[in-house]
């Protein structure tokens, strides 16, 4: 068979693989999934239906050639072996290779293979080699860099039922943020200093912060104080937004320990900073190393959402006002 590397682009291979996984029920982030090494071309994941605790996670390296010699270079194989330290199932994808040696080699290293029919732009399912977990998988790497992050994404989808509207940030190793693009969005992630997982309401566009903090202060303070003792406020000043954000903390603390006088002082500081503020009202939903069932993950996010709904409703009313 001719080498197809000059006839098909790697981008097309990625598109075919993404579509295939999505049709199989996997969620595939639009952005590359960073675990601290070179990012895999495609990552897909879904809950294992018959198992409440485990997630089927796949990482795929896509190549445009069907030449086995070009696919078995030390650089490619070493990279796939590096991915196996983080991901239970690692695959290579390329136009179908007519070479039994490639299949034997991949099976030896427990690497899966997705052969692609370039003419039909489909994965050839009859020739798929299923990946197997490698002995080099590091349980801690998998837990902190992969499992916990994808569990949050899948839980957000379980609660809000709108994967097409979901914004995911996984381009920093070990960090994940999930949210919808709204003036006051429900935002979940582990990017705070403790690296635990939090769920809350995030407001950061200057005009929206101004509207929220101009709610009657006594009323706003009462709404905050009515939240449970494990809710916190992170208030950061944003000095520069682009090309790289420069920001720092003004206040990080528990809401129930805040006096009304301190609350009013913080609002005045926000005014002095011209409302260039990120306001995140949140609560911890699970610890970074706390492995839960799908049902428990969902329950914790739903409970946090329910508690924050009165605040979000009040905030959304204020966002409708004009200044």
* Model pLDDT for residues 220-275, shown as the tens digit of each residue: 888 888 888 889 999 999 999 999 999 999 999 988 888 999 999 999 999 999 99
Average pLDDT, the chain: 93
Which pLDDT value is given to residue 94? 96
Which pLDDT value is given to residue 322? 66
What's the rounded mean pLDDT across residues 131-148? 97
Classify the phi-psi angles of 289: left when phi > 0, otherwise alpha if psi is within -120 to 50, otherwise beta: alpha
What's the rounded mean pLDDT across residues 22-27? 97
State phi, psi for 223 to the nearest 5 degrees.
Answer: -60, -45
Which pLDDT value is given to residue 285? 97
More confident residue, 317 or 145: 145
Residue 6, pLDDT > 70, answer: no
User: Where are the domains positioned within the chain?
Assistant: 10-137, 151-319
Which pLDDT value is given to residue 225? 85
Which pLDDT value is given to residue 256? 80
Please enumerate in sequence order all residues whose Cβ is within 8 A of that of 267, keeping only pairs 6 or more positions apart, or say none.
213, 217
Which pLDDT value is given to residue 2? 56
In this prediction the pTM is 0.93
Which pLDDT value is given to residue 4? 58
Choose the weakest-confidence range: 86-95, 194-203, 209-218.
209-218
Which pLDDT value is given to residue 3? 60
| Per-residue model confidence as pLDDT tens digits over 293-302 | 999 999 999 9
Between helix 148-160 and helix 294-319 the angle, nearest 10°, is 60
Q: Which CATH class is domain 151-319?
A: alpha beta
- The gap from C-alpha 246 to its chain's centroid, in whole angstroms, comes to 22
Contact 202, 235 (CB under 8 A): no
Which pLDDT value is given to residue 224? 86
- What does the angle CA 187 – CA 190 – CA 195 come to, to the nearest 5 degrees? 150
Confidence of residue 24 (pLDDT cuts 50, 70, 90): very high
Confidence of residue 11 (pLDDT cuts 50, 70, 90): very high
| Per-residue model confidence as pLDDT tens digits over 57-103 | 999 999 999 999 999 999 999 999 999 999 999 999 999 998 778 88
Fold of 10-137: Trna Endonuclease; Chain: A, domain 1 (3.40.1350)
């Amino acid at each position: 068979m001719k080498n197809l590397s000059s006839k098909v682009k790697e981008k097309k291979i990625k598109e075919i693989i993404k579509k295939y996984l999505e049709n199989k029920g996997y969620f595939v982030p639009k952005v590359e999934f960073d675990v601290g090494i070179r990012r895999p071309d495609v990552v897909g994941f879904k809950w294992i239906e018959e198992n409440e605790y485990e997630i089927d996670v796949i990482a795929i390296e896509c190549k445009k050639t069907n030449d086995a010699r070009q696919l078995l270079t030390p650089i490619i194989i070493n990279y796939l072996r590096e991915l196996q330290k983080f991901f239970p199932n690692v695959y290579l994808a390329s136009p179908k290779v007519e070479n039994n040696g490639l299949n034997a080699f991949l099976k030896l290293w427990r690497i899966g293979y997705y052969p692609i029919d370039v003419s039909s732009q489909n994965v050839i399912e009859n020739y798929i080699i299923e990946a197997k977990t490698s002995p080099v998988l590091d349980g801690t790497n998998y837990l902190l860099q992969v499992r916990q992050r994808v569990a949050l994404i899948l839980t957000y989808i379980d609660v809000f039922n709108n994967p097409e509207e979901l914004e995911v940030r996984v381009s920093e190793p070990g960090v994940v943020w999930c949210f919808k693009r709204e003036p006051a969005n429900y935002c979940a992630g582990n990017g705070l200093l403790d690296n635990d997982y939090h769920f809350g309401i995030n407001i950061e566009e200057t005009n929206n912060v101004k509207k929220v903090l101009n709610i009657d202060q006594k009323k706003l303070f009462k709404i905050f104080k009515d939240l449970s003792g494990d809710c916190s406020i992170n208030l950061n000043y944003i000095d520069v937004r682009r090309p790289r954000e420069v920001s720092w903390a003004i206040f990080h603390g528990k809401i129930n320990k805040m006096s009304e006088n301190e609350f009013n002082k913080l609002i005045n500081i926000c005014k002095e900073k011209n409302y260039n503020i990120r306001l995140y009202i949140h609560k911890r939903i699970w610890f970074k190393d706390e492995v839960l069932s799908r049902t428990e993950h969902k329950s914790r996010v739903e409970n946090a959402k329910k508690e924050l709904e009165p605040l979000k409703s009040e905030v959304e009313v204020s966002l409708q006002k004009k200044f």
